[in-house]
A and B are shown apart, each in its own frame.
Chain A
């Protein structure tokens, strides 16, 4: 926007205005759009190809660079029901359960913790805040081995507890930080007047902070959903029973189990696995892009 104002300024004040008719400006704008669209097409072409290939008959899946050809739903039929006792929708259900619990857990733990850091005074606040910030950059792998041992000793392997419990305990420090920043920006006068009206901290939290932090909580929820849906390492470690598999594990099993001949069903399931992500994204894209721009989230 800033550069635009600048350009308009130079054009209207400078001599350029006489020599550069608005026609060339239009051409430049069109060129700009054209370049952008070409780059986007190039970027999204592999995805479009994946979708197209998933609808092609099995013997033609890999045969063409183009996006069009004979259309069939066979890949989806075979992919969803690869074996008599196995239905791919099971993996979707599992993934949905895990992602939903992860979202609830993360939103719950992050807002509670953030409220304390943003609004309350307590001993060791500075130390604990420093610890919180340090854990943001802590690589996941340092705690991976002992966590695995712990969950193994508790006989929690092949349950969803290892995937979900850390979320309820605020293990994702980044989102706590995001919520702290958001709550800090809310006017304190609201809390004060609520306190005058006789609210305790829990009531202030429930009736004032939570409704006002819905954007931050929404951002947390969306990114937790995406991360949980895409998570591969966690389920790979903790789940070995096929019935418990999440979608990424199901897809990975497909690669191992099937030869080249069934690329079609593999692609079909890959496409289906992306549908919830894209659907959520389209529904909440404004919130997401704002979340990224304000916090630098990935």
Chain B
């Protein structure tokens, strides 16, 4: 790329003086070329790593393919099987939706409440913030998933703590009724990163709004409801979007805790875990691709709903 610039510069110096129009066009042309030189790695990646594979996966979704013989076109058979003849698929949808619907609001509420609590002009905030972030830092690691498997196991510390107060409970991760809640707990445990975003938002709320409100005699809850919450809506929107998209793709915790199987009675069969089993254990690549496109469709619908309803509830400071 440097060589290109040098060549052009050399031509400029040696060539006859061009007309102004010509040189303007030349400059524009040159700057476009420079830009595309900078963009080359990303554009290459876009084609080879993202868009190309996306198109290929769309094609695969309508085929049967086991990596050994060439893909065979089967039309809508994968989708028909998914919706009509695969109870495990529906189980994975149920598990994932339950996880998203319980986990995301829980994380948002807990992190918002704690951010409000910590925001009250507390000293040592820096240290506290750091400590609250530690679970987010390590929460998606296999090490913590292993710990969780133990913590919620038959002899885990949760049960031991419960025994101290006289309650008996079998293994949490071994029981189909409760296994999912151990993963929800794991996700909730790492609420720190969401909380830090809220904390930053709370610091941006203009103080004069509160002063005006207190002159008007607003009490704590009114101040929260009419000032803090509306001012935070852009960040709430952002967190809902990001946390939901992440929650739909949760994988490591469920895989490690269930040993890759999906847990007792498929209670930890997350959508992505089932996709993994279909594609990379059973080598049903077409079916896995169809599942991936359904996930994309679901997330696209969710994102579209989020953005189209945003104008009714997300307030930006400059509008108010």
Contact = CB atoms under 8 A, between A and B. Distances in A.
Interface of A: 1-7, 9-10, 29, 32-33, 35-36, 39-40, 43-44, 46-47, 49-50, 62, 65, 108-109, 112-113, 115-116, 120-123, 125, 128, 131-132, 135, 137-150, 152, 165-166, 168-171, 176, 200-202, 205, 226, 229-230, 232-233, 236-237, 247-248, 251-252, 255-256, 263, 266-267, 270-271, 273-274, 277-278, 281, 285, 288-289, 292-294, 296-298
B210 A6 contact: yes
A298 B193 contact: yes
B134 interface: yes
B45 A170 contact: yes
B41 A170 contact: yes
B57 A116 contact: no
A44 B133 CA distance: 10
Nearest to A131: B46
Contacts of B132: 40, 43
B67 interface: yes
**Most-contacted residue by chain B among A131, A142, A200, A273 (CB, 10 A):** A142
A277 B138 contact: yes
Contacts of A168: 41, 45
Contacts of A273: 141-143
Interface string B242-256: 100110110110011
B48 interface: yes
B160 A65 contact: yes
A289 B160 CA distance: 35
Nearest to A62: B155
**Most-contacted residue by chain A among B52, B53, B245, B280 (CB, 10 A):** B53
Interface of B: 1-2, 5, 9, 28, 31-32, 34-36, 38-39, 41-42, 44-46, 48-50, 52-54, 56-57, 60, 67, 114, 117-124, 128-138, 140-144, 146-151, 155, 157, 160-161, 164, 189, 193, 196-197, 199-200, 202-203, 205-207, 210-211, 214, 235, 238-239, 241-242, 245-246, 248-249, 251-252, 255-256, 259, 272, 275-276, 279-280, 285, 288-289, 291-293, 295-296, 299, 303
Contacts of B124: 33
Given A47-B135, A169-B48, 5 more contacts: A9-B211, A29-B123, A122-B32, A201-B38, A298-B242
B41 A169 contact: yes
Given A143-B50, A170-B42, A237-B280, A2 B133 contact: no
Contacts of A150: 53
Contacts of A2: 202-203, 205-207, 210
B292 A116 contact: no
A266 B214 CA distance: 56
B48 to A, nearest CB: 7
B245 A137 contact: yes
13 contacts: A44-B131, A44-B135, A46-B151, A46-B157, A47-B135, A50-B143, A108-B41, A113-B39, A170-B42, A229-B141, A232-B251, A251-B146, A270-B146
Contacts of B60: 145-146
Nearest to B287: A145
A46 B147 contact: yes
Contacts of B143: 50, 251, 270-271, 273-274
8 residue pairs, one from A and one from B, having the closest CB atoms = A169-B45, A4-B121, A293-B200, A122-B35, A146-B53, A270-B143, A170-B42, A2-B207
Contacts of B42: 109, 112-113, 132, 169-170, 176
A200 B5 contact: yes
Contacts of A116: 35-36, 38-39
Nearest to A63: B155
Contacts of A36: 117-118, 122, 128
B157 A40 contact: no
A143 to B, nearest CB: 4
Contacts of A285: 130, 133
A139 B196 contact: no
A65 B158 CA distance: 9
Contacts of A128: 39
A142 B57 contact: yes
Contacts of B151: 46, 49
A202 B200 CA distance: 36
A296 B238 contact: yes
Nearest to A4: B121
Nearest to B200: A293
Nearest to B147: A50
A150 B285 CA distance: 12
A267 B203 CA distance: 40
A40 B296 CA distance: 37
